[in-house]
Amino acid sequence: MTGFTETGNGAVPQVKTVLDFKDQLGTLRARSGIARNQYKLNPGLYCVGSPTPESPVLVTANYKLSFDALRKELTDLAVWILVIDTRGINVWCAAGKGTFSANEIALQVQRAGLEKIVSHRELILPQFAASGVAAYQLKKKCGFKAIFGPLRAKDIPQFLQNSNKADEKMRTVTFSFSERLVLVPVEIVLVWKFFVLITVISFAISGIGQEIYSLQTMLTRGLVAGGATFSAIFAGALLMPILLPWLPGRQFWFKGAVVGAFSGLAYVLTIMTGAGIVEKAGIWFWIVAASSYMAMNFTGATPFTSLSGVEKEMRKGLPAQLICTIAGLCLWITAPFLG
Amino acid sequence: MKDFRYIDGAAILTLNKEACIGCGMCVTVCPHRIFALQDKKAKIVDLNACMECGACATNCPTEAIFVNPDNGCGCASMIINSWISKVRGKQVNVCSC
Ligand code: SF4
Ligand code: SF4
């Protein structure tokens, strides 16, 4: 915050358009999933620069990352920002869940006394809010007309300059390399519990051998199995999102299996040099299965997969993953008895 | 989006041309540019690119558009949870985002 702007309805906090160290740190924490759901700010009216009653009003969610992504694009502009209460969830997910709604916007418009602050009756909403907000209802609810702005905050200056017109490019969703990369940490944090559990189990079953149960084999083989799970997560949750456009097929479980097959091969050839073929095959199957599952979960984070499509691919993907897991497990358990 | 295509023939999206008044909202809000206006009526131009976000249906003033109403972001674990909740007949909080 840099100060206040006096208005027809009291003082409105003015915010900076440059993110400082604390903001960057917070972004990092939120992106890594550590504090993902607690990163809120107070709903209400804010401003950048020194807006007048004629200045446009931009609406966003009270997730700090959404707010930061917006304000950092507003350098040298004078606009109002109406932050609505989405319980700290970003615009896209909040619209899907129904918390970024016409009702909520109307509520915040009234609470801020917006009609006393601005002379016009227009709100600029992010296009990504459209699945939650019916523009034609907003007018009835609060007297303000909804205009859908561009998808990406970086296009807002140009949108405003073009007298609130977005071109096709601004309205079309993208899924670039960097847009994919920022999603990776959250995907990994979401599965860490699963990873710990699987590792404990794999240590336990790795100890089964010819001497009934040996601590020594449990440690050495358990480490190999744990490493395999780790490399499967690496393949399915990092390599697959990065390589997404270049991987064969359209279904994510298949793309994940392909990355898993190569990563698995690399793993058994470099880490397991001393092991037998049965053991290697067991680990390879497991890496393929786990990588495929991780990749299938990534559908939830992409902006182009339909729910119907995901259900469809899961009917093929899940059985394939299950078969590979069982094959891997059988090979892994029987291997010590064959050598 | 031209660089990313998902499974063909999966998306559930229908348009009732009779009800359409040609306001163009669906054309504006769709992040995949699925609709176009032709002779004052909306037209679906690329059905297979639809991600079922529901933005068009929500914003159609005459309810001329139908999109798969199952809500959620569409991640695998959410679908598994919803399958489990269907089997057990209980509603669970299905999404983690
Ligand atoms: S559901 Fe979403 S992606 Fe599909 S046509 Fe409607 S707005 Fe476009
Ligand atoms: S939003 Fe509805 S009424 Fe308007 S053009 Fe689209 S289908 Fe027709």
Whole domain around residue B60: which residue ranges?
14-72
A45 shares a domain with A142: yes
pLDDT in tens, A53-97: 999 999 999 998 899 999 999 999 999 999 999 998 889 888 988
Predicted local distance difference test score (pLDDT) of residue B91: 56
Distance (Å, whole) CA A307 – CA A298: 12
* Lowest mean pLDDT across A114-123, A190-199, B20-29: A190-199
For residue B61, what is the domain's CATH number?
A: 3.30.70.20
Length of chain A: 339
pLDDT score of B39 more than 80:
yes
Smallest Cα distance from B26 to chain A, Å: 10
Predicted local distance difference test score (pLDDT) of residue A241: 95
Predicted local distance difference test score (pLDDT) of residue A204: 85
pLDDT score of A149 more than 60:
yes
A198 shares a domain with A129: no
Considering all CA atoms of chain A, what is the largest pairwise distance in Å, rounded to the nearest integer?
84
Whole domain around residue A286: which residue ranges?
178-338
For residue B94, tell me if it sits in a domain: no
Predicted local distance difference test score (pLDDT) of residue A5: 84
Question: Which of A306, A314, A322 is the best substitution to test chain B (most B C-beta atoms within 10 A)?
Answer: A306
Domain count, chain A: 2
pLDDT in tens, A285-322: 999 999 999 999 898 888 899 988 999 999 999 999 99
Question: What does pTM read for this prediction?
Answer: 0.86
Report in angstroms the alpha-carbon separations of A159 from A45, A224, A225, A264, A275.
21, 54, 53, 48, 61
**Looking at the complex, does the CB of residue A302 fall below 8 Å from at least one CB of chain B?**
yes
Rounded to the nearest whole angstrom, what is the distance from the C-alpha of residue A32 to the centroid of ligand 1? 30
Q: Which atom of ligand 1 is nearest to the CA of B67?
A: 1
* Lowest mean pLDDT across A18-27, A81-90, A125-134: A18-27
**Looking at the complex, does the CB of residue A140 fall below 8 Å from at least one CB of chain B?**
no
B54 lines ligand 1 (CB under 6 A): yes
Which residue in the block uniquely carries the two structure tokens 């490493």?
Answer: A227
Domain count, chain B: 1
B7 vs A132: CB contact, 8 Å cut-off? Answer: no
Query: Which of A139, A173, A207 is the C-terminal boundary of a domain?
Result: A173
A201 shares a domain with A88: no
Q: Which atom of ligand 1 is nearest to the CA of B55?
A: 7
If pLDDT is split at 50, 70 and 90, which confidence band does A279 have?
very high
A151 shares a domain with A8: yes
A94 shares a domain with A203: no
A93 shares a domain with A26: yes
For residue B3, tell me if it sits in a domain: no
Residue with the nearest Cα to atom 2 of ligand 1? B53
A147 shares a domain with A242: no
A218 shares a domain with A93: no
Q: Which residues line ligand 2 (CB under 6 A)?
A: B 15, 20-26, 42, 60-62, 64-65
B52 lines ligand 1 (CB under 6 A): yes
Nearest to A10 by CA among A159, A129, A117, A104: A117
**Looking at the complex, does the CB of residue A254 fall below 8 Å from at least one CB of chain B?**
no
Predicted local distance difference test score (pLDDT) of residue A54: 96
A270 shares a domain with A143: no
Predicted local distance difference test score (pLDDT) of residue A209: 72
A120 shares a domain with A268: no
Predicted local distance difference test score (pLDDT) of residue B69: 77
For residue B54, tell me if it sits in a domain: yes
pLDDT-above-70 percentage for chain A? 96
pLDDT in tens, B42-61: 999 999 999 999 999 999 99
Query: Which of A141, A173, A205 is the C-terminal boundary of a domain?
Result: A173
Rounded to the nearest whole angstrom, what is the distance from the C-alpha of residue A101 to the centroid of ligand 2? 20
For residue A71, what is the domain's CATH number?
A: 3.40.50.11600
Rounded to the nearest whole angstrom, what is the distance from the C-alpha of residue B44 to the centroid of ligand 1? 10
* Lowest mean pLDDT across A2-6, A201-205, B1-5, B88-92: B88-92
A44 shares a domain with A113: yes
Query: Which of A173, A196, A220 is the C-terminal boundary of a domain?
Result: A173
Using a CB-CB cut-off of 8 Å, the residues of chain B touching A289 are none
